[in-house]
Amino acid sequence: MKRFLTALAALAALVSCEEWEPVFTLNYSDPGPGKTATLAEIQASSTQLTIAQLASRYVIGGGPVQITDNVFIAGKVSSSDKAGNIYKTMYIQDETGGMEVKVGRSGLYNDYAEGQTVYIMLQDIWLGMYGYKARNNTYNSGGNGMVQVGLEDSTGEYETSYIEEPFLVDKFIKAGEPGPKVVAAELTENDLPSWGATVSSCKYLGELVTLKNLKYANKVFVLIYLSTNYDKKESSNRIFVSDATWGVKTWAFSKSLMDKYLTSGVWDNIKIGNSGDYNYGTVGTPKSNIIATRNDIERQAGTVSQYFTMGSTELAIRSSGYGRFGDYKIPDDVLDGSRSIDVTGILSLYQGSIQITVNSYEDITYSDTGATLPKDTMVFN
């Protein structure tokens, strides 16, 4: 069985990657009730673990772990891919914490509705962590990521790969009874995870949470490739839009909006390359065997982390350029710090940094009025 699953994972790795891709976001009517499993049925043939118990089997820095015993977890679905901001994955949570389940399909909201109970059959599944980087205290960087379950990634590039073959989805993921949507836990600054937090030390990791009174931190992070036909890990093929705002006033950006950012010149002084290897010129004046001018840079939808502060703690709201609201402009009164926002989304860590991923644009509101932010896309007149 293991050899068979490894072969399937290798095949999936050839046609998928961790980068967000265009997603199914058409509106269909809510699906009718399908065949659902019950807890009693699952318990008759398997032993239940809590999410925290499963997460504790992952040893930080030890790499992915295959689950070999006949166990399962149960959780309520807290995420939705309907708005396209979450892609080919879902989050579930129980009373002990939350976890990512890498289901390699779009339109998951049709099969696993928010609030629905889902059972994950774990035998032969791999437990990993996305976004782990060994801590470097000298540079105050690195830390834990988000625990996840999926198949083995035979390429070794990621700790798990997607469960996407239909019969494997049916084998490992059992839809249970529908239920009311998960109620987000309202957190204080003291509830937020540290760089080394796990589900055992911070039960809110992987859960749906609400954070209030966030102030804009005047910086973004987005990784751009000069060309997706070249090695994405090669320094000469990478542009880091980071540390400052670089004129990025949107939650993310589509291909067409990236073109406007590039041609406007606001990125011209960004250096090409990884930190410590800026030997390839700038966006405006490249010295590269990949491109001749900035106009040759491949236009790609960008996943953007927009940084905010909650008290003295910094965190990122991470949004996909393929989502419905990627091109929406952050209001000027938020950008200039005169108003704050509240946000509800999935709480996670990436290399020790706090991230929030929202299910929909309506999950971002003004703190003073509770109103959803305007849907303005006019960044360039």
pLDDT at 15: 37
pLDDT at 380: 87
pLDDT at 13: 40
pLDDT at 312: 98
Q: Are 120 and 103 in contact (CB under 8 A)?
A: no
The vertex-274 CA angle with 20 and 155, nearest 5°, equals 50
pTM (2 d.p.): 0.90
Q: Are 367 and 341 in contact (CB under 8 A)?
A: yes
Contacts of 249 (CB under 8 A, 6+ apart): 329, 330, 335, 379
Contacts of 119 (CB under 8 A, 6+ apart): 37, 39, 42, 72, 73, 74, 173, 174, 176
User: In angstroms, rounded to a whole number, what is the distance separating the alpha carbons of residues 68 and 2?
Assistant: 10
Name the helix (H) or strand (E) containing 121: strand 117-121
User: In angstroms, rounded to a whole number, what is the distance separating the alpha carbons of residues 154 and 144?
Assistant: 22
Cα distances (Å, whole numbers) of residue 252 to 9, 21, 22, 222, 225: 30, 13, 14, 9, 16
Question: Residue 293 CB: number of other CB atoms within 10 A?
Answer: 11
pLDDT at 17: 39
pLDDT along the chain (381 residues), means of 10: 47 40 39 70 96 98 96 98 97 98 96 98 98 94 97 93 95 97 98 97 97 98 97 96 97 97 97 96 96 97 98 98 97 98 98 98 98 94 68
pLDDT at 318: 98
pLDDT at 123: 98
Rounded to a whole number of angstroms, the distance between the first and last alpha carbons of the chain is: 58
pLDDT at 303: 97
Cα distances (Å, whole numbers) of residue 343 to 89, 310, 372: 20, 11, 10
pLDDT at 36: 87
